Amino acid sequence: RADGEAFWNTVDIAPVRGSDGDVENFVGFQTDVSDRKEAEMAARRRREELEHLLVRINGLLQDVTTDLVRAGTRSEIERAVCERVTEESAYAFGWVGAPDYATETLVASATAGAWEPAGEALAVDLAADAGGPTVEAYETGDLQVVRESTALAALAADAAWLDGDALAGVAAVPLSYGETTYGVLTLYTTDEEALNEHERVVLAALGRMTGTNVNALERGRMLGSDTATELVLETTDPDLFVVALSRETGCFLEFEGSVYRDDGTVLMLYTTDAEPAAVRDVAAGFPAIGHLEPIHEYEDAALWEFGVDGGSLTTVLAERGATLRSVSVADGAGEVTIELPTESETREIVELVRERYPETSIAAHRQRERPPRSRRDFVADLEASLTERQLTALRKAHASGYFEWSRSVTGEDLAESMEIDRSTYHQHLRAAERKLVEGFFERAAASGRE
């Protein structure tokens, strides 16, 4: 150019012929093609960057897939995906937050990278009004990306361990399967080019792949493991009949068991020291309780049977694979223990309980050792072999002390509580006992202990 600046150009030269057809001169045309050339070079760079990204992404997907297949526990899955992703130079740090329903937080279950906070526990408050991308990803189940400088500065201000000057972006990746989000992988990058459209698609896929593996692992654990998820609830909610009864009378109640009937109702057995008249008065305000009656009296308490319909807490839990393990109520305050076969149902059940019974909090959320599986199988198979009447007869006899040496309840009493005659009751009880004994000896023979 005239100012000395170099530029891309093309030169076209054409001959100029005379009247006799001979070439007499040449004419040249010089065209500035800098814009076109720079566009071509930029397109080439983008193709090379995309090819490099695809190679890196394919390698990352393969590595993560291999690690997930090898992982044998949920903690190994979380650690593997966190460590493998942060091995990429684009990410300075990453952590997996798993839900703790007792504290309403996402707590770090795996961390990796150069920015790991020393001696500082990583957790975010799920109940906070502005929880940031990690909470948003958990609540919505969608990938969240932060690139805007003001938002990044706010995140860095809340976490002293973050290098705010170097931070170029944050991605919060939900680890989901179906409608269940098991946790969130939060990644921090110093690369201005990271977290582009292609990379976001891959991160979202990684989140789904990780969630799928966690789900498969938990389903397998449900079938063959000796652990279960346990929730302990504390409640003072008067919409729960047992809480209302205790609040009104100052009585205690202790859950003794339940029997599911073919018509969808459930017979709940509770020991309580409440006066019979008070029990009936309070129950009158709960339409879900179809019938109630004392089936055995002790010196200072009685065993009561409450028949509740299909919309009760017990049946709602059962529909989601959860089991009511214990209920203790005194002075209007109760503690309820629920067992779930997998983690995936926990969030739904927590939300359901809080919606129905607002004056309820999560006191504990933990993994608990189950009894040996063979025993659980034995009990499950036995229950499946019993008819509703046989199971009810057996449960009532056991709960009322019928099998004790000093029997304080008669077969006639128990028959009356089931609205059948004495001989029919004993037929059901004998049939249940026979199946129980047969099941025991068949199991003993199978294990070589007979």
- Confidence at residue 193, expressed as pLDDT on a 0 to 100 scale: 80
Backbone angles phi, psi at 425, to 5 degrees: -60, -45
Only one residue has tokens 């740090």, namely 93
Q: What is the pLDDT of residues 134-168, one digit of tens each?
A: 999 999 999 999 999 999 998 888 887 888 888 99
Identify the segments of the chain with pLDDT beneath 50. Answer: 223-224, 373, 445-450
Residue 264 burial by Cβ neighbours in a 10 Å radius (0-12, 13-18, 19+): exposed
Note the pLDDT of residue 1: 66
Amino acid at 176: S
Using one digit for the tens of pLDDT, what is the confidence trace for 351-386? 888 888 999 999 988 876 655 545 555 676 777 778
In which element (H, E) is residue 354 found? helix 346-356
Question: What is the Cβ-side half-sphere exposure of residue 22, based on CA atoms within 13 angstroms?
Answer: 2
What confidence score (pLDDT) does residue 448 get? 44
Residue 296 and residue 397: Cα distance in Å, rounded?
10
Q: What is the DSSP string of 426-447?
A: HHHHHHHHHHHHHHHHHHHHHT
* Predicted local confidence at residue 224, as pLDDT: 47
Would you list the domain boundaries of the chain? 49-224, 227-446
The model's pTM is 0.61
Q: What is the CATH number that goes with domain 49-224?
A: 3.30.450.40
Is 252 within 8 Å of 330 (Cβ atoms)? yes
Question: Vertex 257, ends 253 and 258: CA angle to 5°?
Answer: 115
Q: In whole angstroms, what is the distance from residue 190 CA to residue 170 CA?
A: 9
Q: What pLDDT is recorded for position 449?
A: 45
Of the candidates 275, 313, 269, 306, the residue with the CA atom closest to the CA atom of residue 289: 306
- 231-249 b/e (C-beta count within 10 Å ≥ 16 → b): bbbebbbbebbbbbbbbbb
